[in-house]
Chain A
Amino acid sequence: MAAGRLDIQRCRACGEHVFYPRGSVCPHCGSLGLDWVTASGRGMVHSFTVVHRAPPEFAAEAPYVVALVDLEEGPRMMSRLLGADPAAVAVGMPVELSISGDPPLPYFRLRRS
């Protein structure tokens, strides 16, 4: 994250990508042997919600958009969509990685494809 990229794992045996990181066992094929690769940062909105009633520590930021993003490489991860009008977000929209914050986190923004 500090280096400005999102690294995910890929299985040596079946070639599938993995998120969240596992120690060494591929959850797709069960083999041992995961390598780290850098993700392209491109993905698509698989689902999202506009959070109104937020947990106390995030209440000041509400409403905000939490999304499930399907990375280009395959795996799905949760994130927040930055800089998007909640009313303009739709399933299927392309997004791109936007690392920011302290500590840096993998946010996403809507991408003009």
Chain B
Amino acid sequence: MTDRVAAIAGVAESDLGVVPDKTYLQLMAEASHAALAEAGLTFKDVDGLFSAGGDDYAATMRLGEYLGIRPDHTDSTNIGGASFVAHAGHARMAIAEGRCQVALIAYGSTQRSQGGRSLGRTGPMRGPAQFEQVWGLPLPVGAYALAATRHMHQYGTTSEQLAEVAVATRRWAELNAKAYMRDPITIDDVLNSRWIAEPLHLLDCCLVTDGGGAVVVVSAERARDLPKAPVWILGHGESHTHLGISSMPDLTVTPARWSGTDALAMSGVRREELDVVELYDSFTITVLLTLEALGFCGPGESGEFVRGGRTGPGGDFPMNTNGGGLSYCHPGMYGIFTLIEATRQLRGECGERQVEGARLALCNGTGGVLSSAATVVLGVA
């Protein structure tokens, strides 16, 4: 196990769901304020900035301007939804190098209020995207559908097995007052929901909501007197294998295979020691592929692995305990919410959805179209 170098000191979400009267910058600012307050800190303490998304070419430059922060370390790495999990690892590295003491990771989006989910790009086609755009594949869902078809062909994975993920995750959302969709669903409900791009039904797909989140990471020195127990970043990893789905080397292997291996090796934690996992669930297939890539089961075995509500409340593999992107919120780049939920689980703050005695957690973000992945292992003393 590595030395205790950097810890999550504060986490917060902004308003979630449908928030028509705030910009994404406001959502980021409000989440950031709350996360810092939880850590007993203010914007004046922040010397490292991490963000992605939004309207500007450098998310941190906009965020810094908006909040009045001049960082000594800045990172606008954008690898899609995995970005913020990667940022957590980057924050640990920057802190380890003494480049900053208090790192603020922030995200916000009003994609819901601005007009719903993107189905493809408009405007002139250029570059490699032209070889995909012209065919009318709705993105990102169509790309994930292609991956699901392949997994079903290669391993016999069924729609029912995909649906198990949606059903179990909804059961966690029932226990989370902040979740957007909380009515119970059955496997049949998922299978009867309308086709989006076969084999994915509506209920195989994440929500489209507004929302923002923030995570504050501090040095070991700053972690010595925090209002809440520090959640240590014990290991991290990141990788990407492609951008467009046509170029994905193997439709059944996400880069979590490498990011997860690196994060676990660095942390010295064994998979069996993990108490709870938060895996970005853009689609049900994303979860199945991630479970395999992270080595929780072998290739093709994820359908069997999730059978019988195993990942839901009361099961022996608690996963996506906030209700995930499928049922809790999904403003577009979900990764930061894996960190927020894992932190709360490790602090014992999750009330009805608390995993008893949780001490070690793994967060995995996936970005693009199974293109990128970032993994962190978190732990409390």
Give A contacts to B, CB under 8 Å.
19-20, 46-58, 61, 63-64, 66, 68, 76-80, 86, 90-92, 105
Contact = CB atoms under 8 A, between A and B. Distances in A.
Interface in B163-211: 194-200
B131 interface: yes
B131 A52 contact: no
Nearest to A91: B153
Given A46-B251, A77-B131, A77-B246, 20 more contacts: A19-B131, A47-B150, A47-B251, A49-B137, A52-B195, A53-B119, A53-B141, A53-B195, A56-B119, A57-B122, A57-B136, A61-B136, A64-B136, A66-B142, A66-B197, A68-B245, A78-B131, A86-B198, A91-B153, A92-B153
A98 to B, nearest CB: 13
B148 to A, nearest CB: 8
B381 interface: no
5 contacts: A51-B137, A53-B197, A55-B120, A57-B122, A58-B136
B135 interface: yes
Contacts of B141: 53
Contacts of A79: 135
B198 A54 contact: no
Interface residues of B, number: 30
Nearest to A61: B136
B153 A51 contact: no
Interface of B: 119-120, 122, 128, 131-132, 134-138, 141-142, 145-147, 149-150, 153, 194-200, 245-247, 251
A68 B135 contact: no
Nearest to B196: A53
A47 B149 contact: yes
Contacts of B122: 57
Contacts of A51: 136-138, 142, 197
Given A55-B138, A58-B136, A80-B135, A49 B128 contact: no
Contact of B149 (A20, A49, A53, A58): A49
A20 B246 contact: yes
A68 B195 contact: no
Contact of B136 (A76, A77, A80): A80
A48 B134 contact: no
A48 B149 contact: yes
A53 B138 contact: yes
Contacts of B153: 47, 90-92
B194 A78 contact: no
A32 to B, nearest CB: 19
A20 B247 CA distance: 9
Contacts of B198: 49-50, 52, 86
A68 B135 CA distance: 11
Nearest to B251: A47
Counting chain B CB atoms within 10 Å of each CB, which of A50, A78, A80, A86 scores highest?
A78
A15 B137 CA distance: 31
A64 B137 CA distance: 9
